[in-house]
Structure 1
Amino acid sequence: MLVRRSRVAVAFVLACAFYLFHRALSSGSGPMGSGFAIPRDTRIQYPFREKGINARDAKKAEAVKEVMKRTWKLYKEKAWGFDEIKPVSGKYRNSRNGWGATIIDSMTTTAIMGLTDAFADQYDWVVNRVDFNKAEGLVDPFETTIRYLGALVSTVDLLEAGIISPPSPSFRRNILKQAKTLADNLGPGFDTPTGMIWPRINFTEARGMDMYGRRHQHAIVHLARAGSHWLEYSTLSHLTGDKTYLDNSTKAWDCLVSNKRGVPWPGILESPRSIWTGLPVGTTRTLGAPDDSHYEYLIKAHLLAPKSSTNNYARRWYQAMTSAQKHLSSAAKSQTNPHTFLLSYSKDRYENNMGHLTCFIGGNILLGAKYLSQSSLFSFGEALIEGCHHSYASMPSKIGPESWSWMPRESHLRPPHFPGPVTLSQREMYEKTGIWATATNYNLRPEVVESYFYGWRITGEEKYRRWAWEAFEAIVKATETEWGYSEVDDVTRVRKEGNLRDTSESFWSAETLKYLYLIFEDPELCSLDEWVFNTEAHPLKRRL
């Protein structure tokens, strides 16, 4: 009798242990992330109205809108139908397959700003002019998805939400027809053993290729290219009822998100990966380019569709951010400027270099940490935004450089002696600010003001709007030309003459100006409680 009771007790204990283990996996505690839990209903955006705060600054919002109106007017006058205007010479170029990137990528900006005439031109271009069955050169599925496809599905969401009046009764059918055509032509890119997408697609042959137009079993892809399709494809499936797009993007991401192999830093994967096996063929671990938006999309996928099977995405994001806080966070050694930055890691060595592109991560951390009620991560995100702001405040032009370095305070990092500033100007900058620019150009990028947007919308702290206005004024002053706004060659110089690159990519109007405008407009416009922004700032309606 005693033996039987003992066996029953053992069986009961084992059953309880199995139940608790299974529950831990489903809730996110235990091995998948200590302290992690998926909330049922969490408000993300700061309650401006409930606090009696008039959060709209009409004068500044209108100033940003005027820059957008000028950008559009000059593009339409000098470069209509081409991907970009060359803002110094007034010429044009195609860099995104000749589909009119500036037209389509900025559709959601004109919609949000209420620029109905510009939006009508864009709508006409999409439904009557552009042909997504033909492409100039090989197609980059990453850029095409975030710029073109993201804009198209976001436009449908914005129109259906009443943010802009539909230009025709058949707008939904017309736009989705073009979106489906584009997505169908991108479909052959997923034809790999793992489902991970090829880096390029030949539309003429309907075949995936590597970056050089070759097809072989040694093709590789970085994390951002492999993992930045889910938001757009999931939305397309939701709008059309065709699950093919969701299935493709889910499978493409699965070997990353559901990676069963142990990794040294939970959630942070080595890159690049083989599209044939899904295994790493490189040793880089970074939250910056070219892996950045894979991590960005993990939390955003869950926020977009929290009632679907996206808990694991949020769990992986939580793991990655806590690993980054532990392994990649670095404080500058400077006593007067001990700001927080993010290292990269490759070949058993840390690199004390951070890029403007990485500055999205502060805002992304605030977004996820607020939703998951993680105060330590939230403070980490705030510190990273402060560090990126310092990169702007440190430059004579008051615009942050493409990349910069600092001397890490942490003594345990390898190598024990990091390379310091080399040139006289770098040494002078380091002594004054605690950082030095390693690439001095500014490419009209949005990432710093993007994080200001999340900082303002989530915390309500006025400093983020102040920083955003300072950035806006500095950017316009340095980049304005006769035919638009141009990339800057050297942000350590104040003089404009001879310091412009005659290039203006579509994200200037799609992202940078949109985020700036939304910082000063009524926060209820595209509230974070109702919308998720893809990595090109196209808002997608949350499916709560």
Structure 2
Amino acid sequence: MFGSQEKMVSRSLCVLLALSSASTTLAGRVQKDYLVVPPTAYGNRDAVKQIFVDSYTAYKKFAFGHDDLLPLSKGFSDGRNGWGATIIDAMSTMQIMGLDDWFNEAVEFASKIDFSKSQTNDTVSVFETTIRYLGGLLSAYELSGKKHPVLVEKAKEVADKMAFAWQTPHQKIPYGFLDFTTNSPVIDTSNIAEAGTLDLEWFTLSKYTGNDTYRALTEGSVREVASIPPPLPGLAAQGIDPATDAFVGAYVTWGGGSDSYFEYLIKYARLTNTDDNLFADLWHTAVDSSIKFLLRESPVGNHVYLADQNNDGQIVGVSSHLACFHGGNWILGGRLINNDTIVKIGLDLVDGCWNTYASTATGIGPEVFRYFTTNKTDPSNQRQITDAQRKFNDEHGFYITAADYILRPEVLESNFYAWRVTGDTKYLDRAASAIKSFNTYLVAKETGGYAGLNDVDDPSQGQIDDTESFWFAEVLKYLYLTFDDPDHISLDDYVFNTEAHPFIAPPAKPVYGSGAPNHPVYETAFVPSKVDAPLPAISPNRFAGVDIKAEVGVDINL
């Protein structure tokens, strides 16, 4: 019904190679040696800088001091507690682009933020506050030559408040949300992304404050997640309960709710240069299991992707813009553990995600998309789809289930890693195509800022009235660096947090990890405590009029 038998990417060969420690990769190096950009690249770099300038000019005019610009209604929103998320998130990009006046203004603004309480009635997300505010402040401190100690002081101030997410001295995994007024956590389940995407930032804070407690708290959370028997080797379940240290459900994904937990395993090994192989080997195990159990090719077009495994152990042909970070992460990690096969599959994943951009009318990819598989029990094959979705799949190898674009970075992030590691100019061409699409479809005529799209395959459906702070922190930074001198913010000198804030890394070790996946022996077998797992709150605009459980397959707590 869906064409030729689904290929498994030469599965047996890939598994054998992924398990092997032999490789021709130059150990310790991530970027391609002697990489240079062609002269034409600098015009594109300047075009990206102009997009940043236009976007931030609109923010300054209509929303300065608030979290987000509303580029269509000429207003603002405060979904990140009203501390000026766009300003803090944009600082590292300003420094990289040489926008010194704006950077100095941002330092002055940051010095006056009152982190003792939320400026809104909302609770505080430990995850979002860590990656945007804490990460943004500390990266800006480093990138500006450590000339502004007030940035570390403010980072410490907000981290000291977030530390109340560990309710007792014996609690290993923090609660996801806090009331800053009462210093009390919201007692609720969480997910592994929220529990395991803190250690890069808190380790860096320990480095500059001399207080190792920050590192110990967040590293301890990762170690606790790693100690719980998972549904698949190395692949922790998405949901987790900080009160019981048990997984919630059995959903396995590289998408939202799990994504940056896996991302940080290998990045933490690199940033800390720890001699403990736990982090690199656990990442290697997760990748190895993903190759064995989740890696697929679409029957149409042979596009490589990572499927999910649902609570019932079924493989589900679903993916998302969020999940498309995985290609870049596999490329980085493959280089660090000296495994060319993982790098190669990472590049295939990058191509698969780029196909979601190349296939739409705007040249921009959708939020959620699905693949048909040859597994008759796959829920993707049992969904009722429209004739238009079926036609789209027959042409492009996937079909869209949530068509919006909220200015996400992940596809261009992975494209950046692919360029810096291979030097293949097709990645420059793709980035240039994205610039053209952004300038064609995202410009908000009301303010001169940039706005997302309700439907990437039908721009007549209009724009989304929100400019998330990660537009400044991630999308425009990765695009700019793609066309910049590769020695500027080299992947051999910096580690990016999940919000694209670069941290200075020590000289690289020859190799990370033991060279083989680590399959620990657990005292008990995997036992889920509940059926469904939550996803992190991402953007309130993302979920308007969309049945998330139907699209993603799990419940969501907002």
SS of match in other structure, 1:59? helix
Q: 1:205 aligns with which of 177, 182, 186?
A: 182
Q: 1:344 aligns with which of 299, 308, 314?
A: 308
CA shift, 1:311, in A, is 2.0
1:259-284 Cα shifts (integer Å, max 9, x gaps): 4x3x4521101231111221112110
Q: 2:241 aligns with which of 258, 266, 274?
A: 274
SS of match in other structure, 1:269? coil
1:88-114 Cα shifts (integer Å, max 9, x gaps): 111111100000000111100000000
SS of match in other structure, 2:249? strand
CA contact (8 A) 1:362 1:385 kept: yes
2-structure distance, mates of 1:416, 1:494: 30
Q: 1:47 aligns with which of 11, 29, 33?
A: 33
CA contact (8 A) 1:421 1:427 kept: no
What residue is the counterpart of 1:90 in the other structure? 74
What residue is the counterpart of 2:232 in the other structure? 265
What residue is the counterpart of 2:279 in the other structure? 313
Matched AA of 1:344: D
What residue is the counterpart of 1:229 in the other structure? 198
Q: 1:132 aligns with which of 96, 115, 120?
A: 115
Matched AA of 1:464: Y
CA shift, 1:507, in A, is 0.3
Aligned counterparts, 1:269-418, within 5 A: 269-306=236-273, 308-334=274-300, 337-346=301-310, 347-409=312-374, 411=375, 414-415=377-378, 418=381
2-structure distance, mates of 1:255, 1:364: 22
CA contact (8 A) 1:48 1:55 kept: no
1-structure distance, mates of 2:40, 2:379: 49
CA contact (8 A) 1:533 1:540 kept: yes
Q: 1:76 aligns with which of 60, 64, 88?
A: 60
1-structure distance, mates of 2:26, 2:413: 27
Indicate how the Cα distance of structure 1 residues 191 and 55 shifts in structure 2: closer, same or farther if over 3 A, else same: farther
Indicate how the Cα distance of structure 1 residues 416 and 540 shifts in structure 2: closer, same or farther if over 3 A, else same: closer
Matched AA of 1:234: F
2-structure distance, mates of 1:234, 1:55: 39
Aligned counterparts, 1:92-171, within 5 A: 92-127=76-111, 129-135=112-118, 136=120, 137-160=122-145, 166=147, 171=148
SS of match in other structure, 2:83? coil
Indicate how the Cα distance of structure 1 residues 56 and 195 shifts in structure 2: closer, same or farther if over 3 A, else same: farther
Matched AA of 1:499: G
CA contact (8 A) 2:37 2:485 kept: no
What residue is the counterpart of 1:20 in the other structure? none
CA shift, 1:55, in A, is 7.3
2-structure distance, mates of 1:521, 1:310: 35
Q: 1:251 aligns with which of 212, 216, 220?
A: 220
Matched AA of 1:479: L
2-structure distance, mates of 1:456, 1:150: 25
CA contact (8 A) 1:194 1:251 kept: no
CA contact (8 A) 1:385 1:451 kept: yes
1:155-183 Cα shifts (integer Å, max 9, x gaps): 1111227xxxx4xxxx12x1111111010
What residue is the counterpart of 1:13 in the other structure? none
What residue is the counterpart of 1:60 in the other structure? 44
| Higher mean C-alpha displacement, 434-443 vs 470-479 | 470-479
CA contact (8 A) 1:301 1:310 kept: no
CA shift, 1:384, in A, is 0.6
User: Do structure 1's residue 539 and structure 2's residue 539 form an aligned pair?
Assistant: no
1-structure distance, mates of 2:145, 2:338: 31
1-structure distance, mates of 2:504, 2:104: 22
CA contact (8 A) 2:408 2:470 kept: yes
1:415-449 Cα shifts (integer Å, max 9, x gaps): 39823661122122112112110100001000000
2-structure distance, mates of 1:55, 1:95: 41
Indicate how the Cα distance of structure 1 residues 34 and 493 shifts in structure 2: closer, same or farther if over 3 A, else same: closer
| Higher mean C-alpha displacement, 476-485 vs 502-511 | 476-485
Residue ranges of structure 2 left out of the alignment (5+ in a row): 1-17, 508-558
TM-score (norm 2): 0.83
CA contact (8 A) 2:371 2:380 kept: no
2-structure distance, mates of 1:40, 1:435: 36
What residue is the counterpart of 1:30 in the other structure? none
TM-score (norm 1): 0.85
CA shift, 1:40, in A, is 11
2-structure distance, mates of 1:89, 1:314: 46
1:36-80 Cα shifts (integer Å, max 9, x gaps): 59999511111135xx76578211100000010111111111111
Matched AA of 2:94: T
| Higher mean C-alpha displacement, 196-205 vs 268-277 | 268-277
Indicate how the Cα distance of structure 1 residues 417 and 229 shifts in structure 2: closer, same or farther if over 3 A, else same: closer
Indicate how the Cα distance of structure 1 residues 55 and 312 shifts in structure 2: closer, same or farther if over 3 A, else same: farther
Indicate how the Cα distance of structure 1 residues 53 and 60 shifts in structure 2: closer, same or farther if over 3 A, else same: closer
Matched AA of 1:439: A
Matched AA of 1:187: A
1-structure distance, mates of 2:156, 2:57: 30
Indicate how the Cα distance of structure 1 residues 125 and 53 shifts in structure 2: closer, same or farther if over 3 A, else same: closer
1-structure distance, mates of 2:489, 2:290: 29
User: Do structure 1's residue 525 and structure 2's residue 488 form an aligned pair?
Assistant: yes
CA shift, 1:414, in A, is 4.1
1:343-365 Cα shifts (integer Å, max 9, x gaps): 11112222111100000000000
SS of match in other structure, 2:381? coil
Indicate how the Cα distance of structure 1 residues 499 and 372 shifts in structure 2: closer, same or farther if over 3 A, else same: same
What residue is the counterpart of 1:183 in the other structure? 159
| Higher mean C-alpha displacement, 133-142 vs 415-424 | 415-424
Matched AA of 1:315: D
CA contact (8 A) 2:231 2:252 kept: no
Greater gyration radius: 1
**Higher-RCO chain (CA-CA 8 Å, sequence separation at least 6):** 2
What residue is the counterpart of 1:432 in the other structure? 395
2-structure distance, mates of 1:429, 1:442: 18
Indicate how the Cα distance of structure 1 residues 417 and 396 shifts in structure 2: closer, same or farther if over 3 A, else same: closer
RMSD: 2.0
Indicate how the Cα distance of structure 1 residues 90 and 416 shifts in structure 2: closer, same or farther if over 3 A, else same: closer
Q: 1:471 aligns with which of 434, 438, 442?
A: 434
| Higher mean C-alpha displacement, 71-80 vs 467-476 | 467-476
Matched AA of 1:437: I
Matched AA of 2:292: K
SS of match in other structure, 2:464? coil
